[in-house]
Amino acid sequence: MNAASAHHIAVVIPCYRVRDLVADVIRRIGPEVNSIFVVDDKCPERTGDFVEVNIADPRVSVIRHDVNQGVGGAVMTGYRAALGAGADIIVKIDGDGQMDPALIWMFVCPIIAQEADYTKGNRFYDAASVQEMPRFRLFMNAGLSLLNKLSSGYWNIFDPTNGYTAIHAGVVALLPFEKIHKRYFFETDMLFRLNLTRAVLVDIPMSAVYGDEVSSIKYGRVFIDFALGVFRNFLKRIWYNYVLRDMSIATFELIFGLLLFFTGTVIGSYAWSRSIIADVPATSGTVMLAALPIILGIQFVLAFLSYDIQSVPSRPRQKSLLRNIFKDDARMPSDQIRYEPVIAISDAVLRGESG
């Protein structure tokens, strides 16, 4: 028995205007996958109907939305269906052909090996692939990746908007479905939520496929919205991880660092304005009175960032879930673990009771 056959692997494909491409994507999904959930997100092309008529694969189930919910809403619907079907690992790929289904095994392998709870694609590993990426999209992804590190706390990953992902079913059951952003901010918000559960993430190198399609995304507005979203999530993460859950030396480093920096900035600004008005150079003592708090504040903030970088989750959450589930039978061999209790947890998610 190989490792894949011992696990129920499900694939979720959110569909919106991909009728002419999704059939080929489904046909290229290998035998390691047990279930395929096609989520028709109120697609005007009726992709769901097209799949039912043209795809005879018994693994395929079509789910339809009465109202368009965005990629995040479609993925959440697919997650619920996969949990209900007893999936152990859930893979999400797009229906537009830009994500190679042949890579599914690479995404699920670290989860099966209990090295990760969540895997995601990274298109920046291969220099040749990066060169093929449209320049403006490359710039936007790089900028969003840097912002996401602050927002999510996962300093060890890149390409946060990459939608090729796989996740352990037990971790899915811990997510607050109703709170996760359902549209363009979905992938980034997922990383923030995963950090709050202390899930371990691993990047999977992959190449991106770009066609001649013209994106309708207004990048300027999206970048501003992303910046606001990641700032909001950063504040939440700091509050949850460094105040509510655990107060450490890093908490005080951040507080005093910010206070000193802003105090020095205010003093310096006041002294500079008085110097300009009076046309009298500021004394060295006044300069130091402003500069010293700023320097100390920056050092404290850098110390906090160093602590935060070292605090990236490193122990897969699925291990603690399995230990709690099977605490009454510690002798159970790992190759016989089937996660049935995790599916029971998912019933609460299906009823919308997840917090």
Percentage of the residues of the chain whose pLDDT score is greater than 70: 82
C-alpha to C-alpha distance for 14 and 94, rounded to whole angstroms: 6
In a domain, residue 207? The reply is yes
Measuring CA to CA, which residue among 181, 94, 195 is closest to residue 151? 195
Residues in the chain: 355
Residues 172 and 27 occupy one common structural domain = yes
pLDDT for 79: 96
* pLDDT of 324 above 60: no
Residues 154 and 280 occupy one common structural domain = no
* pLDDT of 346 above 70: no
Two tokens at 255?
A: 């507080």
Angstrom distances, CA of residue 338 to CA of 1, 7, 9, 193, 334: 14, 7, 12, 25, 9
Contact, 200 vs 315, CB < 8 A?
yes
Residues 107 and 208 occupy one common structural domain = yes
Measuring CA to CA, which residue among 23, 93, 35 is closest to residue 59? 35
Residues 220 and 191 occupy one common structural domain = yes
Which residues form the domain of 256?
247-310
Residues 230 and 253 occupy one common structural domain = no
C-alpha to C-alpha distance for 82 and 72, rounded to whole angstroms: 15
Residue 222 pLDDT class (50, 70, 90 cuts): low
Q: What is the mean pLDDT of residues 22-47?
A: 95
Residues 196 and 270 occupy one common structural domain = no
Name the residue with tokens 């903030």: 301
pLDDT for 281: 85
Residues 281 and 324 occupy one common structural domain = no
279-306: pLDDT as tens digits: 888 888 888 999 999 999 999 999 999 9
- Domain count across the chain: 2
Contact, 297 vs 261, CB < 8 A?
yes
104-145: pLDDT as tens digits: 999 999 999 999 999 999 988 777 666 767 776 777 777 778
In a domain, residue 97? The reply is yes
Q: What is the mean pLDDT of residues 159-183?
A: 92
* pLDDT of 200 above 80: yes
Contact, 71 vs 163, CB < 8 A?
yes
Q: What is the mean pLDDT of residues 61-74?
A: 94
C-alpha to C-alpha distance for 163 and 270, rounded to whole angstroms: 48
Residues 303 and 339 occupy one common structural domain = no
